[in-house]
Structure 1
């Protein structure tokens, strides 16, 4: 068992840390206030190879795997939870999924754009009335002979109104249950009958655009189907198992950022004649934050490593997402307490860490859903899968 990073992994970690501190951090406070998304940053991340993990080199891949991807994403999230999302929107979501299920033509056409950051990616699952129970989604795709007609609405979709190419999940046969869902590749900007709108009332992740996509008789070509008609549910579950690794990486990063900020503040702030880090109550808080952060990181790295080995990892992925997201909220909450009144100010990062951390308890399957998955596999009711 080797716990040390390889020389290449350390290099990628350092590169990601430097990128976050030089390209994201300098304008982050103002960007957060303005809810500003900068596509040029996605392209810069693509140029550095951040989105090429688990993608063959002929499609722009870096030759690295999920473990390297989470090492990079963690460093980005330590500075900004918002800017961790492109790893899911470009790499773990669309690119990796199309690489696994797509035709050669689809791979050649779409993956290079996502990997390079030239095409902003997304995936549309969630609806106003449907979250985790994806089989009950109401968006439909009707076969019209020479095209598919899409009707319905998607909500809480990252990059909904900024995305170029992404994945759409819709029902093609209501009576077929799990076999009645199909996945499509489509461009909302170039499809008639599609209207997108922004959601700007989120608690956190202010630099990550989120919105709605409405379909009213939208036409997409027959060749837009990813995999086979009726294969959408297993594709969806396979993708979620990958993007949840990305979410866990975001949680580990946010938790690490909150912990690091609290430690630095505890070593600087003086009360009653000594640094507040010298007080045992503060030490107890920091001890919990550090221990939970390190435990979350080990769970994350193991889930990613198993994925790279082609071994079942759903159990481990759900444990990583559950524990890391809860640990991130705990670290961010206690971090605010250590900062005192300054923790309540937007001039300090403590409050942003807490707002962003809460999102990871919800997205890509809530903490309660992760508990159901973990318990189901542990009790033998379902099998661990890749």
Structure 2
């Protein structure tokens, strides 16, 4: 199996590396120690097309591959690991679930903010007794009125303090 990047992937990697060196290396240490979400960096990443790489074009994304997103994350991380987390959140996990399984109304309501760097998404999965083993979770959603009552306990919910 060939694990070499294609010429197109190498060009993309080099472009992202150059961008990261010019715009992200300065201030990387300060960002790493700042508990706040780097909204300015998120907007900059959106302007560069680094949020939504894995999201279909019809949903406002770039329509790229998972490998494209991994290449971008690695290239950004070499200059600023905290900024790489912004790229990760804008391409993997909950944002992909929303793009894949969300209703058209949900996509219209949330994806634009997420892909513009004006919002960030999180998912409450990890529980004290189950970890991230989704088959062992204790949280329940029970019907109540026109909605649901969610009960349970979550820990380690990445991006929760500033997510939408």
Report the Cα offset of residue 73 of structure 1.
Answer: 0.8
Q: Which has the higher helix share?
A: 1
Gaps in structure 1 of 5+ consecutive residues: 165-386
Structure-to-structure mapping, 1:119-198, within 5 angstroms: 119-164=119-164
CA distance in 2, matches of 1:113, 1:11: 29
Structure-to-structure mapping, 1:52-63, within 5 angstroms: 52-63=52-63
* Alignment correspondent of 1:101: 101
* Alignment correspondent of 1:382: none
SS in 2 for 1:92: coil
Count of residue correspondences: 163
* Alignment correspondent of 1:3: 4
Post-superposition Cα deviations, 1:11-47, rounded to whole Å, max 9, x if no partner, equal: 4312321232233221122333444531110111112
Report the Cα offset of residue 85 of structure 1.
Answer: 2.1
Post-superposition Cα deviations, 1:301-353, rounded to whole Å, max 9, x if no partner, equal: xxxxxxxxxxxxxxxxxxxxxxxxxxxxxxxxxxxxxxxxxxxxxxxxxxxxx
Asked whether the equivalents of residues 99 and 107 of structure 1 are also in contact (C-alpha less than 8 Å), the reply is yes
CA distance in 2, matches of 1:156, 1:128: 9
Structure-to-structure mapping, 1:1-386, within 5 angstroms: 3-7=4-8, 9-164=9-164
Gaps in structure 2 of 5+ consecutive residues: none
Post-superposition Cα deviations, 1:244-266, rounded to whole Å, max 9, x if no partner, equal: xxxxxxxxxxxxxxxxxxxxxxx
Q: Which has the higher strand share?
A: 1
CA distance in 2, matches of 1:151, 1:29: 38
Report the Cα offset of residue 156 of structure 1.
Answer: 0.8
CA distance in 1, matches of 2:88, 2:154: 18
Report the Cα offset of residue 75 of structure 1.
Answer: 0.6
CA distance in 2, matches of 1:154, 1:46: 29
Asked whether the equivalents of residues 52 and 62 of structure 1 are also in contact (C-alpha less than 8 Å), the reply is yes
Closer, same or farther: CA 30–4 of 1 in aligned 2, 3 Å = closer
CA distance in 1, matches of 2:100, 2:34: 37
CA distance in 1, matches of 2:133, 2:14: 39
The higher radius of gyration belongs to 1
Query: Greater relative contact order: 1 or 2 (C-alpha under 8 angstroms, separation 6 or more)?
Result: 2
CA RMSD of aligned residues (A): 2.2
Report the Cα offset of residue 59 of structure 1.
Answer: 1.9
Asked whether the equivalents of residues 60 and 116 of structure 1 are also in contact (C-alpha less than 8 Å), the reply is no
More deviation, 60-69/79-88: 79-88
CA distance in 2, matches of 1:3, 1:28: 29
Asked whether the equivalents of residues 90 and 122 of structure 1 are also in contact (C-alpha less than 8 Å), the reply is no
SS in 2 for 1:87: helix
SS in 2 for 1:150: strand
Report the Cα offset of residue 92 of structure 1.
Answer: 1.3
Report the Cα offset of residue 55 of structure 1.
Answer: 1.8
Closer, same or farther: CA 67–133 of 1 in aligned 2, 3 Å = closer
Closer, same or farther: CA 113–86 of 1 in aligned 2, 3 Å = same
Normalising by structure 2, what TM-score? 0.84
